[in-house]
Amino acid sequence: MELKAFFTEYDKKLWMGIPVFGILDMGRDVSMTTVQQIIGEQIDRNAIQTASTWMYLVDGSIPLVVFPMEMLIKKLHISKLMGLVLFLVLFYTAKYRWGAFFHSLDIHPWNYNWFTPEQYNSTTGYLFFHPDILHSWVLVIVIGRALDRMLRLKF
């Protein structure tokens, strides 16, 4: 794909993907917090969860990287499974970088060390490595890639 065509496609419906991903992923964040509290045996019967508004910025940035990663995976002829692994690494890296950025500003929109078993926590609290959470991230990646393709084709 030539550079001009890449940027034309990259820009295509990006304005729509940002709010869609932001809203959907904030819902995912509330659900993941519930799962983390269940794993950490710290959920109460009301299951009231919160999501930081800062997460809209984090989750809304997903469409900015999905299409370029898809093009890279396609150009390098990377398998679907390896592409999934690359997206998982990208998402964990982004989550860590955003967490470090917010914490440098003394903003704490999430800290997984609050209510999860210690053996799955990161030293910073920005990441959580429980197998159930890894599976939910894989699901988010599969849905996110499909949603990005759908938004580009349908609208």
Q: What is the mean pLDDT of each run of 10 residues along the chain (155 residues)?
A: 70 72 78 78 78 81 81 89 89 86 89 69 72 79 80 71
pLDDT of residue 1: 59
pLDDT of residue 126: 74
**Residue 47 backbone dihedrals phi, psi, to 5 degrees:** 50, 40
User: Closest Cα to residue 59, out of 92, 2, 99, 18?
Assistant: 18
Go through the chain and tell me how many residues it has.
155
pTM for the model = 0.72
pLDDT of residue 36: 74
